[in-house]
Amino acid sequence: VANLKNPFISCLFCRYRGFTLFLTFLFYTAYHLSRKPISIVKSELHRNCSTVIRPADLNITDNATWCDWAPFDQDNYKTLFGVLDNCFLVAYAIGMFFSGIFGERLPLRYYLSAGMLLSGLFTCLFGFGYYWNIHSIWYYGFVQAMNGLMQTTGWPAVVACVGNWFGKGKRGFIMGVWNSHTSVGNILGSLIAGVFVSSAWGMSFIVPGIIIASTGILCFFFLVESKCFFIGSKHMNPFSPQQRSPSCHSSSSERIFSGSSAISSEPAEAAEDHTEAISFCGALSIPGVVEFSLCLLFAKLVSYTFLYWLPLYISNVAHFEAKEAGDMSTLFDVGGIMGGIMAGLVSDYTGGRATTCGVMLLAAAPMTYVICSLKPRRMLLLCGGLVNGPYALITTAVSADLGTHESLRGNARALSTVTAIIDGTGSIGAALGPLLAGLISPSGWNNVFYMLISADVLACLFLSRLVYKEVKGWCGRAPRQRG
């Protein structure tokens, strides 16, 4: 604490904090950037060959599927696309529950770096299938599953890093802005994949794979995972993976770094009693974790259905080319950026995380159906904001709040585990959404949207108890807390 009274150390701390926020934003942008190509490439793997000019030197007897990429040239291509999506998402959902446990016990810098390098490798391997002329669904499914496992290293680690550096005061707004990396990554992934999709779709995967691997190298050399350096030993190396100082995660330091002038006189020894990593059951017992986890399950079901199927829907319904459909789908992600920021601002001001999510989810239900017409296109922006706003708030500010809940008595080592539980449960919905879309879409796209509307309503219902508690507090029957 005394170190921060030094103007030079205080200035250096602010610079490191801002730099860490920028780096983690960049890292998770790369994670999402590398997930997006599959949704853009789908409409290239199975095309309407009657509208494509066939090269004169191509001698093919099957006129209906000559331009498709086997095995996606069959009538069950939507089911196969659903299989690919779920190989990734099921592996991601399962791995996420274990990822937080590893994240609490391993140096975050090493953990993130290895995850991004391996994720880059498997992303590139999918693209190499184009150049190696691979037509096996087993190959693409295996690569997707392994990539899903590697991607689980990202979210618990980056949220833990940001939670270690920022207090609760403006966490909703800060993390709302920071969480725009999800949409920024989706937009960049769509644009990069769209550049190559019509000429050589393998590069739509290889380029994002190289980008995320490069950010993994950047992480290894530059990430400072904790603020302990500034209040620990003056000889501590900020890049050292040594055990984190217990005192830097105490409740007193939380007040310091959230901007409060109050400094607790609680001795560091008192904090040491609560520095053991929390158990899975212990994290589940934190008030609000179960409700927000189940809410996120259905919120991510909706968000990831749009993520993986919106470009194909636009291509099928509006008859756009693959690149045009991908470019148009980015409007949904632009709306997601604005929705995440607004959700953070409103929840910071009102102190009602659950109420903010509930209102946006209720509004998203009818807006999800309006998107069926794709007219006017600004509806894509509005729907993106309402769908991704609650998802962004729960996975960032809410996870960080619950991971530093007062019942933990200053034990901030629970943050990564709580984040993994919430996002892992949400990832089950993320896996179910694209799977159900693949199974339901042959019966009509309207039925897919009915499924998404039902999911929005269910997500809102799971928050009803917490919403009632917050509204009751605003009415003066319980103390109101902000942030």
**Binning pLDDT at 50, 70 and 90, where does residue 202 land?**
very high
Which residue in the block uniquely carries the two structure tokens 């992934």? 189
pLDDT of residue 411: 53
183, 333 in Cβ contact below 8 A?
yes
Which residue in the block uniquely carries the two structure tokens 């009274």? 5
CA angle 347, 177, 304 (to 5 degrees): 85
pLDDT of residue 236: 46
Tell me the residue range of the domain where 45 lies: 7-233+270-476
Give mean pLDDT, residues 62-73: 76
User: Phi and psi of 349, rounded to 5°?
Assistant: -70, -45
77, 350 in Cβ contact below 8 A?
no
CATH of the domain at 99: 1.20.1250.20
Radius of gyration of the chain (CA): 23
Q: Which of 15-19, 27-31, 266-270 has the lowest mean pLDDT?
A: 266-270
% of the chain residues with pLDDT over 90: 25
Q: Compute the residue count for the chain.
A: 483
Q: Which of 179-183, 379-383, 400-404 has the lowest mean pLDDT?
A: 400-404
Q: What are the helix (H) ranges across 223-267?
A: 228-231, 251-257
Helix axis angle for 322-350 and 289-318, nearest 10°, is 150
Two tokens at 12? 């250096």
pLDDT of residue 25: 94
Give mean pLDDT, residues 310-328: 78
Instruction: For residue 70, give the DSSP letter.
Output: T
Q: Which of 10-19, 218-227, 290-299, 466-475 has the lowest mean pLDDT?
A: 10-19
**Binning pLDDT at 50, 70 and 90, where does residue 242 land?**
very low
Residue 243 in any domain: the answer is no
Residue 39 in any domain: the answer is yes
Residue 446 in any domain: the answer is yes
Q: Which residues contact 177 (CB under 8 A, 6 or more apart)?
A: 340, 341, 344
- In the chain, DSSP finds a helix count (H) and a strand count (E) of 21, 0
**Binning pLDDT at 50, 70 and 90, where does residue 375 land?**
low
pLDDT of residue 126: 96
Give mean pLDDT, residues 330-343: 88
Residue 259 in any domain: the answer is no
End-to-end CA, the chain: 24
User: Is pLDDT of 479 > 80?
Assistant: no
**Binning pLDDT at 50, 70 and 90, where does residue 455 land?**
very high
24, 158 in Cβ contact below 8 A?
yes
344, 397 in Cβ contact below 8 A?
yes
**Binning pLDDT at 50, 70 and 90, where does residue 112 land?**
very high
Give mean pLDDT, residues 299-311: 86
CA distances from 329 to 39, 219, 306, 376, 447 (A): 10, 30, 9, 13, 20
Strand, coil or helix: what is 212? helix
Residue 53 in any domain: the answer is yes
Q: Which of 187-201, 266-280, 452-466 has the lowest mean pLDDT?
A: 266-280
Give mean pLDDT, residues 435-450: 84
User: Is pLDDT of 299 > 80?
Assistant: yes
DSSP 313-357: HHHHHH---HHHHHHHHHHHHHHHHHHHHHHHHHHHHH--HHHHH
pLDDT of residue 259: 41
Give mean pLDDT, residues 35-64: 74
Instruction: For residue 134, give the DSSP letter.
Output: -
CA distance 355 to 390: 10
Residue (of 226, 177, 222, 186) closest to 38 by Cα position: 186
Residue 201 in any domain: the answer is yes
Residue 238 in any domain: the answer is no
User: Is pLDDT of 268 > 60?
Assistant: no
pLDDT of residue 254: 41
Higher pLDDT, 347 or 416: 347
The secondary structure of 55-68, three-state, reads CCCCCCCCCCCCCC
User: Is pLDDT of 111 > 80?
Assistant: yes
Per the prediction, the chain carries an average pLDDT of 79
User: pLDDT per residue over 176-187, tens digit each?
Assistant: 788 888 889 988
User: Is pLDDT of 258 > 60?
Assistant: no
pLDDT of residue 380: 80
* Residue 143 host element (H or E): helix 137-151
pLDDT of residue 273: 40
Q: Which of 13-22, 183-192, 413-422 has the lowest mean pLDDT?
A: 413-422
Residue 349 in any domain: the answer is yes
234, 8 in Cβ contact below 8 A?
no
The total number of structural domains in the chain stands at 1
